Amino acid sequence: MKINSTSINNGNNTSPHLSINLANLSSLEETLNYHFKDKAILMQALTHSSFAYESKEKDVSDNQRLEFLGDSILNMVTADYLYKKHPTLSEGELTRLRALLVNRNNLFKKANQINLGQYLLLGKGEEKSGGRGNLTNLVGSLEAIIAAIYLDSDFNTTQRFIIQMII
């Protein structure tokens, strides 16, 4: 079963494996200050590989490809922002500053500030091992959300999100 808008219907999920409902998504969207046109892409951004693997519906997609794209977008937006904001800094100084902003610990802190862990779709083992608070899971999901916003909207909207929420 592909996760799509029809599988996210007012908390009456069509799949017993979906542990998130429309009210939860709305709450996350309010926190993100972005409302998705395509709720399925948000669901994919929140889907850990363990959930996709354990799902009885074999075509559930995880967030790994979105994480890849989001990481690249985050780095590009941050580099552009710093380049324009700090015209006198050297390449090395800009690189160090960017690294401070987009490092895993800073992204983990940002993900925790928005309680991202409560929205993740995790497999049973990942859930039992504390996956909702796992640095890698939270950072990956935040990067996936960046990509989801980009694919759901445009570069400028994504850039504003990153500047407001991360930088």
- Residues annotated as catalytic (active site), given as ranges: 71, 143
Give residue 121's Cα distance to chain centre. Answer: 12
- Reading phi first (left if > 0) and then psi (alpha if -120 to 50, else beta), residue 90 is in beta
H-type alpha helices, the chain: 22-32, 39-45, 49-54, 64-85, 91-102, 104-113, 124-128, 135-152, 155-165
Distance CA 89, CA 92 (A): 8
Positive or negative: CA dihedral 35, 71, 8, 115: negative
Phi/psi of residue 47, each to 5°?
-95, 110
